[in-house]
Structure 1
Amino acid sequence: MEELVERLSVEGRKVVVGGPSPSVEELQRRITELGYVFIKFSDSRGGTDLGVRVDESATDTGGADFAAGTGTVHIEGTLTLDYVEVRCVADIDLASLDGTGHLVARAEALVE
């Protein structure tokens, strides 16, 4: 497995909402309309901003009040990082737009 993927696979890594203009409104739009969000692993060298295809069946916005900017959202989705197919798992606090997350290498990507 690639070094970056391995480092970001440790649970509890610091993450923030990434992208060009992070905000609660933009995060909601990206989850509900675009199906594509940016999650930045802020404690890696210089930060690693990843574009994640949202998995609607695994993402949970039930604990989030987007209008008030409070609560948490659980985001899961897929991407390819350094030629490895991974799932990104992140829990984001809407008040601060940060939280914790990690990557999970997809099983079929581990077979060589």
Structure 2
Amino acid sequence: MDELVERLSAEGQNVVVGGPSPSAGEFRQRITERGYVFIKFPDSRGGTDLGVRVDEDATDVSRADFANATGSVHIEGTLTLNYVKVRCVADIELSSLSGQGHLVALDEVFAE
């Protein structure tokens, strides 16, 4: 397995909402309207900002108050990182736009 994917697969990684202008409102819009969010793993070398296609069935925004930037969001979605298809799983606190997360390797797209 790819070394970066393996490192980010350890549970309990620090994550933050990434993208050009992270805010609770922008995060809500990306989840509910665009279906695509940025999740950053800041503790990897230089930080790793991933674009994640939101899995609506596995994502839970029921504990989130986006207007007041309180509560939390459980987000899951897929992407391909270094030729490995992965699922990103993260729990984000809206007050800080940060939380814990990890990747789950699903399948190698093709061998290097």
What is the SS of the residue equivalent to 1:28?
helix
Whole-Å Cα distance in 2 between the matches of residues 26 and 12 of structure 1?
25
Tell me if 1:18 matches 2:18: yes
What is the SS of the residue equivalent to 1:75?
strand
**What is the RMSD of the two structures over their aligned residues, measured on CA atoms?**
1.2
Q: CA deviation at 1:68?
A: 1.1
Whole-Å Cα distance in 1 between the matches of residues 24 and 67 of structure 2?
8
The number of residues matched between the two structures is 110
> How do 1:1-112 and structure 2 match up within 5 A?
1-106=1-106, 108-109=107-108
Q: Which runs of 5+ in 2 are unaligned?
A: none
TM-score, length basis structure 2: 0.95
Q: Which runs of 5+ in 1 are unaligned?
A: none
Identity %: 74
